[in-house]
Structure formats: structure tokens, C-alpha cells
Amino acid sequence: MKKQIRISLHNTLSLGVAVPLLLVLLSACSLPRLNVATEAVLYIPEVVQGNFVSREQKEFLKPGMSRLQVREVLGTPLVASVFHEQRWDYVFTIRRQGVPAQSFSLSIWFKGDVLDRVTGDELPSETEFVTKLVVKKPSAKVPELEAKEEDLRKFPAPVRKAEQAPAAALPLPSSYPPLEPAKR
């Protein structure tokens, strides 16, 4: 005897939903990644962290300066740890759209309350730093904005309505009412 396979409506609906769902889930693992061009991104916020310290500021520091003098030249340190009282760290990072990220760090070492030494990255001068911030965009061709006579003939001349003469202005009053109410 042959066994008959009986497919009910419930089994058919279950298979009709389960198989496409399984195919969608399995294909999601192999979908290609979308490659969004950088020009398509409209705005990326500028991220600036820390204090910018220029080469001129670093060169101004001399061994023997007090902590207060160093703070006046460089500003408040980004990191002044309780566990490393003899060291101040100045870290600066900036990320802007269309410009490579920039990061600089500077460590100031003290002996007691006097500047001992300065270590850190090679810092740019203020002018070099500002020039690195400028985004250089390729110059676009400016379209010609002048119309030729033959182009102007294609359009009819505008018809202007005759302006109506303004109505005769009424004479201004010789006196005005008081701005504040009379005192009682």
C-alpha cells in the first residue's frame, strides 16, 4: 500500500510563509555593502577636542617657569592627574569634513612647582595650522550668464501696466494726542 501524503491548507500556508522568510534571512548575510560616496554626505559635524598649542607657544616655555606662568601661556591642561601631579598633558584633535584629522599632544613636566621639561609631538605654527584647515575645492566652471540678442527675441517683451497715480495725501494733523494719560 502506498502512503498518501496529505497536505492541508495550514501546512501550505506555513510553508508559503516560512520558505520565503528563510530565503530572505539567508540572503541578508550576503547582501553587498552600500558604498556611499563622500560627496553624497551633506554634513558631518566638526569635532574639536582639547586646547590647540602652537609651536610659538611651545617655544615660549622655558625651564624654571612656574605652574601659573605655564598655565597663562598654554591654558588649562586637558589632563592633570592626581596620580601624576608633576605632569600636565595638552591633547588637541580636530576632525572636519574634507580635511584629514589632526591630532597633537604635549606633556609638560614639573619638579615641584617649576617647569622641568617639555615633550610631545612636533607642533605646527598658527599659520600652518590654519592653512591645513582650509578645504580646497576644485574650481567649477562658471556658466556664461549673458543672453545674446537671438535668445532674447524668443521671449516677448514684458507689458507693464500703467501705474495709477497715488491718491492725494491727507494733510498731517498739527497736534497729536498725548502719549501718556493725564495725571489725576
pLDDT score recorded for residue 180: 81
Give the Cα separation of 105 and 110 in Å (integer).
17
What residue ranges do the domains of the chain occupy?
A: 47-124
* Phi and psi torsions of 80, nearest 5°: -130, 95
The CATH number of 47-124 is 3.30.1450.10
pLDDT in tens, 133-178: 776 667 778 777 788 888 888 888 878 777 676 677 788 888 887 7
Picking from 78, 76, 82, the residue whose alpha carbon sits closest to that of residue 104 is 78
pLDDT in tens, 46-97: 888 888 899 999 999 999 999 999 999 999 888 777 888 899 999 999 888 7
pTM of model > 0.85: no
pLDDT in tens, 107-129: 999 999 999 999 998 998 888 88
